[in-house]
Every structure is written in C-alpha cells, then in structure tokens.
Structure 1
Amino acid sequence: MKRPPLSPETLKKYLANECSDEERHLVNEWYQQLDEPADEPFTDADQDRLYNRIKAYLSELRKSDEPATPVYGLWHYIGRIAAVLVVGLGILYFLYQKPDHVVEQSVGATNGWVTFKNVKHKIVPYQLPDSSVVWLHPNAELRILHSFHKRDVLFSGEGFFEVKRDPSRPFVIHTGDLQTKVLGTSFNVRAIPGEATVKVSVATGRVEVSDVQMKGRVVLKPEQQVVFEQKSMHLEVQKVEEKTTDKELWQSASLVFNETPMAEVAERLMQTFHVKIGFEDDGLADCRLKVDFTDQRLPEILDMIDTLLGSTYRIDGDNITLKGQGCK
C-alpha cells in the first residue's frame, strides 16, 4: 500500500519556500519514491512537475470549501471525474504520479532521434513537446526528432494518440509502409511487429491514411478504421460501431459506482470492454469504490482506480491483473 499523503500545510510551505530542510526532504522523497527507485536523482523536471501539481491540488482544495460545489479530479488526462475517498489514501496521491517516468528514453548520438519505449506492463501516457499525448501500450516505441520542429514520429506497437491541433504543422505518424496524417484529433494505432496488418481507428476528428508509395489513400471519420495489409499494400476501410458493451480499450464509456465492491467493478469493466480482469490479491476484490467515470477510456479508468486504492495493474494482451494489499 502506498504511503499516506503529506498535509496541505506542508505543501503550502513547500511552495512558499518556507519549509525546513527536513520538510523539503520529506516532500522530495515522497515524490521520488512513489514509482521510482530510491537512488534515482530528483531532477529539475521533477521539481517543475511537483510544483505544478501541488498548486493544482491546493487550488482544488480551496474550491472544496465552497458549499454545493463539486470537487473534480486532479488528473491531467481525465475531465469530469468526481471521486470520493475510498481507503483513506485520498486523491493527493495522484499529485505525485510521474507517468512519463515509466517510459524508457534514449537519444541517438548522431541522427538526433529520441526514442521513447514503454517498459512497463501497463498503458502509460507520454506528453510530447507540442502537448500532444500518446497512451503507449506495453513495449510500444515512439521516435521523434529532438527538435520536434516537424511533427513527424516513427511508431511501432499500439498506442492512442491525442494530437494537439496545429494547422500549420500536420502531425504525421510513420508505421512501416503506412503513414497517418492529422492536424488535431484522437485515434488508435496498432502496428505490432510481426503482425500482418496495421490498424488505424478514429475516435474524434478526421485522419488521412496512405501507403508510402501513395498507391492508396483514405480519409477516416469517427467510428471508422483502416486495415492495412502489409504484404499486398491494400487499404480496407471498416466501420467500428460504438457499442454499449465489448468496447475497444480506446473507446470511451461512462460508468458510475456507488460503494461498489471491486469484484463487481471488475465485472462491469469486463462487460463494457473487450478484456478479462482478475485479482492477484483477494483483499483488493472487497474494496468499495464510489466514483463517476464520464466518457473515459479503460486505461484512464484503471489509472484512477490505482490512484484511489493504491493498487497497480498489469496488462498482457486482453488480460488485466489488479494487485494491491486491499482495504481494512
């Protein structure tokens, strides 16, 4: 179970640079040890993220004192989630999460390419320099030029892209012999090494997909996907229906839980999404969840559950395993 959060008073002192050396050490140590080994240095980038999230938390905390005003989650990637404390951990825990730190980064010495690879067994968000966000599946790999002046990326694996709109700079994804071009939209790309096809599925906006030889070109709308046969270079457009159940991981759903046991929450998620969910620890299945997920995708829902329960999850294909010490 994750350690309990620090007090708002300590955080306010930290922001105002009025805390003692011991208090500053406690804040930095807390932020450092949530997801990373204790011997990893605390960087300037960590400092900036910590300051921003403390400010956001204290701002929301002040709003919570106003009567009849709902308190919304602090999650940068989730809007309109009102979460109620479940196990005494509180939403302050999320303040310190560092999703980009579960991505392995390497820089080419000569060609200027930077490589990001998800080395964890969960789906993690990574923010690009233009504020676009990519939700990387396990082993997914993204390569960008260090300057990112041209928004061209090389991608393999599976990921959900939320592209920041910029009409002057189209966002282009290269996956083998296929390229996907957008101005600003959200879509899923599945380009697993060794698989015979590449799939691009659109959630919002429009996406232009073509092969590198420009023999085939299609423009996709929401609820459409293209299947690219790599051997024949054939593009086939298919409809992706927005179903109530059996959704893909990248499709959004609205679910409400009111003091619902996690065993029932898992059952609802399995009914809604095309996955199987199990528990590594029996005690976690008895935890109760009171939360409103509005138009959220499964990776976002799983991350918020981890935040509230202090748990972790592992994904392997369509199988998801939740792990945690449970609730007393």
Structure 2
Amino acid sequence: MNLNKQQELLSKYLQGTATPEESAWVEKWYCSFDSLQPASSEQPIDQAVGEVMMSGILKKIRRGKVIQLWQQVGSAAAILLIVLFGSWYYYQLNSSDSPITYSYITAAPGQHIKVLLPDSSTLWLNEQTTVRYTKSSFGEKAREIWLEEGEAYFEVKPNKQLPFIVNSGPLKTRVLGTAFNIKKAASYDEVQVSVTHGRVAVSTAGRSLAHLTRGNQLTYHKSSGQSTTRPINPAYTTAWQQGSVELQNASFQELSEAFYSLYNTRLKAGKKEIEEHTYTITLARSQPQAQAVAVIAAIHELSYTIENGTIELY
C-alpha cells in the first residue's frame, strides 16, 4: 500500500470514519511496531504521514510503543515529532480555561479613596469612580488599568520594562513613570488627560493623539473623535484631591477647570467679556455648589442659570 493510501486510512481512523476492514488494517499496522527493527536514521518519511503519526501518538499509543515508533520513523520524522509535540506542550502550559479575573475599586458618592497598587504605584479615586485591573498578574506580566467611570489620579512607580497603561473609554494612556489625572464623566462627551509631572503618550484605536508633558492637557470628544491639547495649571485640574483650591487672578478657563474638578459641573460663559475677566477666589468642596456659584457671580455682578448639568454665567 502506498503512502498516500496509508495517510488516508490513518486520517479516517483517527476521525472515526473508517470501515471495519480499514480499522482492522490500521490496528494491525499499529501492533506491528512491537516487532519492527529500528530503521536507519537516513530513511526518509513523508511529512504529512509524520503529522498523522503525531496525532495518533497523542490520542492512541501507549508510552511503551512511543520509543519503538521513534526508532522506526527515522530522523526526519523525529525532528517533526519534536516540533509538533513541543508546540502542543507549550500551548497546554500557557493556556487556561479559567477566565481572567479583575479587582474592582469603587468610590461612592462623597467618598475619595487612596489605593496602593501591587506594583507600589499610588492611585486616588474621586467620588463616583470605578476602576478595575487584572487580579493575579498586575505588576508581574503587565500593569494595565481600566477607568470605567469617573476621575482618577495616578502616581506611577517607574519601570522601563513594564509600561503602565490606563484605558479610559476610547483612550489609551501609556507611561513608564509619572503622575497624571484622567477624567471620564458620564454627563459629558469628553475624556481629559492632564499631566502634573513626567510624560505620557495618549492614543485611540492604535492612532497616536499626543505626547503630553507637565502642565498640558488633552481633551478628547467621544462623539466626533477629535482631540485638542492646551496648557493648564495642574493644581486646578487636580483640586479634587486636596478638597480646595486657591485661585489668584485666574482666567475664566482656569476657574472653570477648578470648578469642574471640585463639583463635576461645567461653568459656561454666556458673554464674551466674561471670558476676559480674572477671578481671585478660594473654592472648597465642603462649600455647597450653589453657594460657590453665587460667590463667583457676585465677583463681577453676574447672573447665572443651571441647566442640563451646566452653569451659564451671563
């Protein structure tokens, strides 16, 4: 019987589609290995037949006959068997049916949490914020966190071999060691990344958006996919950590950033001249939002309205 016919019968036998006569031939062929003498190492064997033999070894053959088959097939098949078995064994060692498990951390309304991560990096969570990270491998195989919702500040322990990655919706922020703030509020169509020191790389869907350094902020609009960068005062964008912030001759944009940090509510200028005003004021989270707005409006004798989560001064 030629090799092609042998290969066909072996395949059918392993798939369970062989006839009784064909199965008897394969089993007779299988048993013949007990009586075969070792062949010359120079004897070639077809690669396809070798692959079928390998499959048969893993499924059918007892340990005692593997050695005799090894001697029989010669060096070409021996090399092939090593490669195939090695690949299978590596796969078995590195695959698992167990699903990936995550650790979740949530800061409830009015709560602020400081967390020491397994790699000794420090994480602060603003209220109503949830993050997750891989429970078993963080700091060993990877350092990756998902900001599900809210705002978090990171102080990352340097590790050049293991980048620290934060996923915040469509954005991926990658660092080696630095401090930065990410805000992803459900009520606004934007994700903000602000750097207080060091450098971060921000991307989306594999497309680089910016490399940010200290005192710079990227704002990404989820609906349009557009992003802008601009300089900021880090103290204003991270005011929520300290619970208060003191503004000295701050621009309206800086005031708006500090207010957003403390109250998760945007300030909007209803008139152009309002954006040209400066503001000297101390804002504290312990102060009710309505009271803080009233004080801001009184500085320049302004009025205001509150609608759809935005406060407009006019």
Q: Which structure has greater helix proportion?
A: 2
The structure, 1 or 2, with the larger RCO (C-alpha pairs under 8 Å, 6+ apart) is: 1
Q: Which has the larger radius of gyration?
A: 2
Q: Please, what TM-score do these two structures have when normalized by structure 1? A: 0.43
Q: Please, what TM-score do these two structures have when normalized by structure 2? A: 0.45
